[in-house]
Amino acid sequence: MNRRRTGIAAAALGVVVTLGLSGCFTAFLPEAPPTAVTSTPTGEDVAEDLRPFYEQHLDWSSCENGFECTTVTAPMDWENPGLGDIELAVIRQAARGGDRLGSLLTNPGGPGASGYDFVADSIDYAVDSDLQEHYDIVGFDPRGVGRSTAVTCLDADEMDEYLYGLVDGERGSQEWIDAIAQGSKDFGQACLDHTGEALQYINTVNAARDMDLLRALLGDEKLNYLGYSYGTFLGATYAELYPEKVGRLVLDGAIDPSTSNFEVTKTQAMGFESALRAYLEDCLGGRECPFDGSVDDAMAVISELLASVDASPIRNDDGRMLGSSTLLTAIIYPLYSPDAWSALSDMFRDVMSGNAGYAFFFADAYNGRNDDGTYADNSTEAFMAYNCLDYTYNADPAKMAEEAKELAEDAPVIGPYMSYGDIGCANWPFTDGAERTEIHAEGAAPILVVGTTNDPATPYVWAEALADQLDSGVLVTYEGEGHTAYNKGSSCVNDTVDSFFIDGTVPSRDPMCD
């Protein structure tokens, strides 16, 4: 897959043919819950075979910076709880004020980003001080991620080759396709060999069921949840599964669960192209811009630069070669936030001078690669695992070639390097992914859907679509740049979200924030 991860960690500061963006998974939703025979800590009935999970005692212990941490045991397969268990790592900060409203679960996106680290390392970025006063702020690593039962595939050197290695053959040729397919197959087999049976059950529906277990064990009758980016899909899936247990949900940087696999790729390519043009307009209007002329002139230069490194990669000091996929990753990473645009100019200037260091700095940050060549987390492996079961794929060369032409027409600079994305998951060990369909969550309480008008990673049209699909969806628009909007500087967005979480105030109309 060539689509981009959706997570706000990138906004805080390769395109690889096997990376993607999660979509809808509702084909796996159950028709009805099993017979209830026991009660959760909040008094709800659950099935006999789920009793050990819902009755477990959580042992909280002090951990870094005054937080509390625990581990939750969940079924590996929610449809067959006796098959085995997985573990979920959970961290929380107790409500700082006297008027506690319950727990607020958070997810930073990905899929594959660590919700544990999101809270432990950057709680003030995750939620503002008002929410911290009223809620226990809870972060967790979803199944397959980080400190939870994790997807494991490659060692550091192998991951370097997977993420940064050059592929033989001309892009789109049979030689190139065969090489990508073999690399994807080898990667998937390594994930299965090192992860084991749990790999088959890393998907968003199971993660949403895990989230309901967390809700119950935390003692909340209903789920209060703030999900960013991919986390909006996780939250919407929860609402579809458990509409009667929806408390106050805010989904920021929304994914449209009904969008087809190719339409997701195309819309995101167009989103990054739009953000790139916005960057160039700002750059050309200031000083020390590495481009001159019009925005179209500059876009042509970037296109030529990508083609140049595709044909003649630039060697980095550590021996890695800067090809077009890694350069595109380096371009896209700072597009997540306008605050990084000046650094993007520095990167372009460096590459135009024949250097690869700055580009690898950005690509490494995106991929979680440390200075010593190790990897900080398993986000790439988890990202792949989720996407391969949250989507279906068609790796027919003729179909992919047709779609590549459409991508090049709609996003001439970005699109050509986001094509042929189905190859990766078509060679995954498990190919029974889900078809996209709408999520309605009939009967759920009001759900706020926040969308940014020029969000490159989760384009605004997706927020409009999700708010329209949800029976109780309420759209909150932020007219601006960057990926996600809450706690990013807009008092209008912050006030709307905080009033909803704290007072239950639902906007009577879209506030159209700026």
Report, as residue numbers or ranges, the catalytic residues: 229, 455, 483
Give the span between the Cα atoms of 356 and 310, in whole angstroms: 13
Which residues are within 8 A (CB) of 490 and not within 5 positions of it... i.e. 6 or more apart? 478, 480, 513, 514
Give the span between the Cα atoms of 144 and 159, in whole angstroms: 17
Look up residue 125 and give its two tokens: 């970025």
Q: What is the DSSP letter of 353?
A: T
Coil, helix or strand at residue 136? strand
Peptide bond preceding 416 in cis form (omega within 30 of 0): no
Identify residue 221 by its one-letter amino acid code: E
Work out whether strand 223-228 and strand 135-140 pair parallel, antiparallel, or are unpaired: unpaired
* 416 Cα distance to chain centroid: 22
Give the span between the Cα atoms of 253 and 294, in whole angstroms: 30
Is the alpha carbon torsion for 474, 475, 476, 482 positive or negative? positive
Q: Which is nearest to 225 in space by CA: 352, 143, 337, 138?
A: 138
| Packed helices 295-311 and 341-352: angle between N→C axes, nearest 10 degrees | 50
Q: What is the DSSP letter of 169?
A: S
Q: Which is nearest to 471 in space by CA: 248, 239, 176, 308?
A: 239
